[in-house]
Structure formats: structure tokens, C-alpha cells
Amino acid sequence: MPDHMSADSAGIRPRVLHLISGSRRGGAQNFARDLHRELGRRGQSSALCALAPHPPGRAGAAEADPGDCPDATRLPRAAAVLGPGRLRPSTLRALRTTARAADVVLAHGSDTLAACALALTGTNTPFVYVSVGHPRYWTATRLRRVRGGALMHRAAAVTTLTDEARAVLEEQFGLPDGKVHVIPNSRAAESYPPADGREDRRAARHALGLPADVLLVAWIGAIAPEKRLDLALDVLDRLPDVRLAVAGDGPLRETLARHPAAARAHFLGPLPDPAPLYRAADALLLTSDSEGVPGALIEAALAGVPAVATDVGWVREVVRDGATGALVAPGDPLALAEALGRVLAVNRAGLGAAARAHALEHFELGAVVDAWQRLVADVWTERAVPAG
């Protein structure tokens, strides 16, 4: 194949394997599933695998056996769990075997970066690292920078969400020009339909075990220090007429369940699909200290739900202060409570409609899949063309 001809322009589409860290849904996992589905609709061979059950090692999680790992002659059509732990030797061996049936692997999340760098060394299968977080947060220490740089240099390409993030990655890790590609975060609009009136919202609440006739705010994410669920509960403490629905799990769950306001919080655990919660909610609250371009904000916006969020990372690309929701400086529960009170008191339907229109224009998956297909084809073509 000549150097100037991409695989796609020649009518050949490389086989794609999406690798996610765990089988439970999260921001990176949701995007991987949506992209996997859309590539399949476009006639491109696409498969989805998880490194391990999520959370890895939890009692009761299904241990992988050889039947869980597809053989190297075909890619799995549904998500398969490769092993019992994300970086276990058996998991890495299974990944190496599975990747033989792919032309390009898309590694969604930091654990998958390490797994691909280790498992695919010495193979002819290139991988692309899909970076979705804010690089200044996860490169805060020298050890993280050294480790992350060593792993990313092994990737055929790296994607990130904004031009600023690309500049940070190139500066922190000395990545060469052309290696880091900017492709916006996105979601498939059809996966997050707005509530169709009051009865649809009531039905969604009933299905989730949530009260029908209250002001209900959704909080979605890992219950980990940087996500600051403690701030959300402090906000709840200041708004006695509001209930909070928490979707997620993590190391701080038991501690925060003892918060004084937790009696008005509904801990739902990780949801297999967040769409019903968006249909149930009057607003979304994001309280993080660090974010990139959060998928939950895009999902909520597509569902017509206004958001109140901390102004961190590139959150303001999704939330337009005063137009689709509200932005607040991080770490300030009083300001968050005041902003949330305003959003709930004004025309929530109008804010939600504006949020949906903005998300459809800038973050709908169909608008960015072409860029993903071009990148995958270019990575495969570069690997397939002999040097010199």
C-alpha cells in the first residue's frame, strides 16, 4: 500500500479492539461502549473487552476462566472479561492473545495504558491511548510523570480532549509532534433520551426506588477523594427540600454515608446504565476538584438536565454558566448550594433544553466518529508500511 494512501481510502477498514479497565460503567467505559457501537453500525469490525471485573478482586466478582477470553481467530462481539485483575499475568496473557485478532487497540483509561504497554510489547498490534482526565492532576508527582511518560511513548498515538491538554502532555512527557491528537469527548444522543414529561420522570424514579414528588439532584461518579461527594452532602445540608441520588461506589462510601445529610441521600451504587437517573433528576451536581471534560455532564445535557458544576478542567466547555446551568469555584459548598438553589428555582426546562442543544452541537458522537476512523486507519497504515 503506498505511503499516501490510508487504509480507509483503499476500502479496507482495520479491526478495532476497545479495552476498558473494568466491566462496570464509568466515564471512559461509557464512551468506549458508544464508540464501539457506532463503529459497528458503520460496518467496521469492533470489539470490546474489559481487563477485569470491577472492582477487581471484590468478593463475589466472577473470576475469569479460559472460556471468558476469546481465541485469536476472531474478535468477541460482546464485552469479555480478560482476567481476575487488571495487571495480573494471566490478564496480560489473555490481552496479548485477544489482540492478535485486532489491527488496532484503543486503550480507554490509565490502567489500560499500562496493560497495553506491557502485553503488546513485541507484537505487531499498535495501540492508541485514550486520555480523558486532566493531565496536570495525574502528572502531579515526578514518579507519575516518569511512569506515564515511559508508557505513553510505547503507544502509537495518544488522544486527548482539548488543545490545552495536548500541550500539557507534550510538555510533561516530551511526546513528539503529531503523536497527540485532539478528539472531543462525546456520547451517542440516543443513549440519553430526555424524560418525556412528568409521568416518564415519575416512572424513572419508581424504577430506581426514588421518591416521586421531591426536588431530586443526581450525583454520578467514583466516591473517591477528588470527586468530593462530601461537598455534595454539605450542599444537601443547606437545601432541606432537596434529595440527592448518588450513583457510584468507592473507598469513601461508608465514611460519607455517616454524614449528617446522608439521611436525604439515596446511595444507588454503580448503575448499569445512568440514563434512567438522568430522566429521574431535576439537575446534576458535579463537585470534583479535578476533571477533564466529564462524560456525565455531556450525558446529562443530552438528557436535557441542567448542571451545577465546579469550574475545573474544561468543565466550562460543557456547562455554560447562566445558560445551561451554573459554574462555581471548587471547594465552596455555600456557593454550590446557592447556585443549585437558583437552578432549581428558575426555568429548569429552559436550562435543560439549552444544555441539550449545546451538547448536540458540540458533543454528539456522530460528529467525531469520522475523526476516530481516520486516526485508527492512519495508525494501522503506518504500522503496515515497511520503514524506508
CA distance 106 to 35: 10
> Longest Cα pair distance anywhere in the chain, in angstroms?
69
The reported pLDDT for the residue numbered 301 is: 98
CB 283 within 8 A of CB 348: yes
According to DSSP, the residues that pair with 285 across neighbouring strands are 308
- Expressed in angstroms, the distance from the first to the final Cα of the chain is 13
What is the pTM for the complete model shown?
A: 0.80
Question: Can you list the positions of beta strands (E) in the chain?
Answer: 16-22, 46-52, 80-81, 104-108, 127-130, 157-160, 180-182, 215-220, 242-247, 265-267, 283-286, 307-310, 325-328
Q: Contact 32/18 with Cβ under 8 angstroms? A: yes
pLDDT digits (tens, 9 = 90+) for 299-334: 999 999 999 999 999 999 999 999 999 999 999 999
- Phi-psi region at 297: left, alpha or beta (left = phi > 0; alpha = psi -120 to 50): alpha
- DSSP tag of 363: S
At 3 the pLDDT is: 35
Given a contact cutoff of 8 angstroms between Cβ atoms, the answer to whether 288 and 294 are in contact is yes
Secondary structure class of 187 (helix, strand, coil)? strand
Nearest alpha-carbon partner for 242 in 277, 283, 303: 283
Question: Residue 383 has what pLDDT?
Answer: 77
User: What is the DSSP pairing of strand 283-286 with strand 265-267?
Assistant: unpaired
- What's the confidence (pLDDT) of residue 284? 98
Q: Which residue, among 98, 145, 108, has the nearest Cα to 33 in the 3D structure? A: 108
- As a whole number of angstroms, the distance between CA 374 and CA 379 comes to 9
Alpha carbon 329 to its chain's center: 23
Three-state secondary-structure class, residue 347? coil
What residues of the chain score a pLDDT lower than 70? 1-11, 23-26, 54-79, 136-140, 384-388
* Cα–Cα distance measured from residue 214 to residue 202, given in angstroms and rounded to the nearest whole number: 10
Give pLDDT tens digits for 11-46. Answer: 578 999 999 998 666 678 888 999 999 999 999 999
| Three-class SS of 279-331 | HHCCEEEECCCCCCCCHHHHHHHHCCCCEEEECCCCHHHCCCECCCEEEECCC
Q: Say if CB 113 and CB 129 are below 8 A apart.
A: yes
The confidence score (pLDDT) of residue 55 equals: 55
Cell numbers representing residue 387 in the block? 520503514
- pLDDT value at residue 79: 62
Minimal CA–CA distance to 121: which of 156, 149, 173? 156
Q: Are 135 and 313 in contact (CB under 8 A)?
A: no
Residue-level pLDDT at 171: 86
Q: What is the pLDDT of residue 142?
A: 74
Q: What are the cell numbers at 111?
A: 490502567
Q: Please give the pLDDT value at position 151.
A: 92
| DSSP letters spanning 125-173 | --EEEE--S-HHHHT-SHHHHHHHHHHHTTSSEEEESSHHHHHHHHHHH
Cβ atoms < 10 Å from Cβ of 103: 24
- CA dist 275 and 272 (Å) reads 9
What's the pLDDT score for residue 65?
34
- Cell 454558566: give the residue: 321
Report helix, strand or coil for 81.
Answer: strand
Structural domains in the chain plus CATH codes: 16-183+368-384 (3.40.50.2000), 189-362 (3.40.50.2000)
For 33, residues 6+ apart whose C-beta sits below 8 A from its C-beta are: 18, 25, 48, 79
